[in-house]
Chains A and B, each alone.
Chain A
Amino acid sequence: MSRLTGNPDPLDRFFDDYVDGVLGAEDGDILSKWLLASPANVDRFVRESFLHSQLFQIMRRSEIHAEAMATPPSARAPQSAGPRSRADSKSRFRLRSPATVAGFAALLVAVGAMLLAYRFSSPATVAQVSGLSADASFEQTRDAFNVGALLPQGRAISLRRGRLLATLVSGTRVVLEGPAEVEFTDQNELRLVRGRLGADIPTHATGLLVRMPMGDVVDLGTAFTLDLPSETTCRIQVFKGMVELRPSRGRPVRIAEGTAISYDAVNDREMQIPYQPEERLSLLP
């Protein structure tokens, strides 16, 4: 396709500038008046905006597919989330694209698996996906974790990179930062296998339980970040309230607001580390 010469229709440029976020105020007024002039113009706007969103989805999906094809699963290394531009964050759009048959097939497999799982049991919904960062990618198909997706009890998430915000039925909001693995085990309970997790717990939901290989973390009315780099080490930063670490072996440790510890399960030893408020996780990197 090579018809890339000639000047675009001025109206198309208004649409493009609008969806690219660079439309000036004066041109914005012109576009607004033009849209109000006729329902047919609004129909055209709808198609333009839909095209734009689909391009984000298709191109993003193509990139993920290309990455997956280029790298054998065993060699895939997690990538850290770097700073992203505003425009980049728009790539969060998702779709089932006819152009990406593999992705669609993966979605069907996921949905099929969900239905199969439901046939044998119907676990209660314990959380909902409330947000995803632009660079979020999963070991599983991403479509199962679109914003708004409900998470049944026992649902495991392997976040390869990026961040996921989930709201538990209790009202607790947790941000997971990849690479991380977590299982939603109950309405106010999680199992963290590895990775970083930030929790913001409203008063009525106090008592969030995070299970880890080396013990549990219980919130006592708080906001905290839990970093689990290995099965035997964790770091906890407490921004509000108090957290109790309950090692599988050893005595419980209470961590107060404005403090942070590192815990070594092999030697059952906790150590004060610098408190860093900037470690508080939010959806934005």
Chain B
Amino acid sequence: MSTITTARPSTHLNEQTLREMFWVMLLSRRLDERSWALHRQGKIAFHISGMGHEAAQVGSAFALNRGVDYTHPYYRDLALSLAMGLTPTDFMLSLFGKAGEPSSGARQMPSHFGSKRLNIVSGSAPVATQVPQAAGLAFAIKYKQTTGLVDPNDATQPRVALTSLGEGATSQGEWHEGMNWAGVHKLPFICLVQNNIYAISVPIESQMAVANVADRATAYGVTGVVVDGNDLLAVYDVMVEAVERAYAGEGATLVEAKTYRPVPHSSDDDDRSYRSRAEVEEWKQKDPINRFRDYLIAETILSPAQLDDYEHRARAEVDQAQAAAEATPDPAPEAALGDIYAPSEAV
């Protein structure tokens, strides 16, 4: 375990950046809430939520060279993907499965984020498959630097690969194999585990016999860090250290952000069967967005009037995104037949 002993990197964030971090979290939350409503109205087939995870994701995203460094996210990473550059309209197109949906052309279920332009690798539904692939991305970064294909200090090139997943997915062999490669090859790799203590219904004590996922870091020869995933700036601080470690060629980091999912696993889940309402209420009191909002207001970085303005803007953006998606046609049915093989190119 490493702890933050030096000056916290977040103290260097200017007020505008702090407000931007808040904005992304707020926008993600309002978009997420609307998605639940759209499902309950019967307008969309499925939604899987990132609510409660916004601080873990936005704190991580802002530590990266966004849109350049590789991310290989999982299905809860709505706020992370928005921070990287996907838009509410992009997400609404995925919910409605409409033409031009940018991550997959509406082939994938919603929340399978991806963008070549933003170096967000398209993910699948089987959990942890992205982890050894992200080790491969990190391997490629190091390989290109070692063989002279890229300059290690060229900030227009990816210099770290971050992948993220839930604590349940760390039970998969794929997680182990990815962590092992990252350790053996000392890769510029960050594994962000968003530990919300439930894998759908299965609680953490049925998932692992150790107290922290990050305790396993030692076994892979990488740095392990536990952080309060509902504390935006704490996440940012440990993530900056992890990114600097990767950029400096000093190896991989396993970051475990402890958080909670205050809503069911997905639109098809009912969490009343496996946890008490009292527990959920208790965690809602620790909501990461409210916590950061209160901090910004107390520090007079955000005024109540600005907060109102943010809320109006978020609502307007979500309204606009929904309207745009609803007005977009379905993909051509024959689009199901496209993109099976990439065309050959001149070597």
A and B co-occur in one complex: no
Write the residues of chain B forming the contact surface with A, with a CB cutoff of 8 angstroms. Answer: none
